[in-house]
Amino acid sequence: MDDAAGAGSGAPESAEGGGASVTPAKGRPTPKRSEAERRRRQPYSAPANRKAAASQSRGRDRTERARRYEAMKRGEEWALPAKDKGPVRALTRDYVDSRRRISEYYMYILVLLFVLLLFKNPGVQAIVYPLVLVLVVIMVVEGYLTSRAVKKLVAGRYPGESTRGLTRYAIMRGLQIRRLRMPAPRVGPGSKA
C-alpha cells in the first residue's frame, strides 16, 4: 500500500520540480469574458427585411455565376464542369478544334434541309432525302475517324489514362458550331493539337 502511495506522489513532484512540463506565463492578464465576446463578434450588416436580403443574395449569386461563366469560357480548370476537366479532355478539345470538319457545319445544313423539306415540290423532296442519308453517312465516318485519332493521340501523350467517354465527347464537340463551343477553343483551325 505504501508502494502505491509512493509511486503516486512521485509524479507530481517531478512536475513541480521545474521539469519540461511547466507552462511558461503568457505575459498578459486573462481577458474578461465580456471583452473576449466583444472581440469575437463580427459586425452583422443584414438587410432590415426579407425582400432586401433576398435581393442582396440574388445579386451576389448573379455576380458569382458571371465570374464562373467567364472563367469557364476561358477554360480555367476550377470553373469547368466535371465532364470537361482534366488534361485528357483538354487535349481532346484541342484536337477537335484544330481541324475543320463537315460536322461543324451540321447544324447549318440541317436547318437548310428542314427549310427544303417544307416545300411540297416532289423534285425538291427527291433531292433532300438522299442528301440526308449522305449527311448521316458522313457524320458516322467522320465520328469514327475522329474517335480513332483522339484515342491514338491520348494513348501517345498520356499512357495509362482512361479513354472512356472520349468518343462521345469528341463527336459532340465536333458537332457544335465553333463560336458556341464551351469552353471556347484555345487553338484555331490548322494548329497542332
String of b and e for 122-147 (b: at least 16 CB within 10 Å)?
A: eeeeeebeeeeeebeeebeebbeebb
Least confident of 14-23, 66-75, 109-118: 14-23
Least confident of 17-21, 24-28, 78-82, 117-121: 17-21
Q: According to the model, what pLDDT value does residue 6 have?
A: 47
C-alpha cell at 163: 479513354
pLDDT in tens, 152-168: 999 999 998 888 999 99
Question: What residues contact residue 103 under an 8 Å CB cut-off, 6+ apart?
Answer: 138, 139, 142, 143, 171, 174, 175
Report pTM. 0.65
Mean pLDDT value across the chain: 84
Burial of 88 by CB count in 10 Å (0-12 exposed, 13-18 middle, 19+ buried)? buried
Residue 15 has pLDDT above 50, yes or no: no
> How sure is the predictor about 41, in pLDDT bands with cuts at 50, 70 and 90?
confident
Q: According to the model, what pLDDT value does residue 19 have?
A: 56
Residue 33 has pLDDT above 80, yes or no: yes
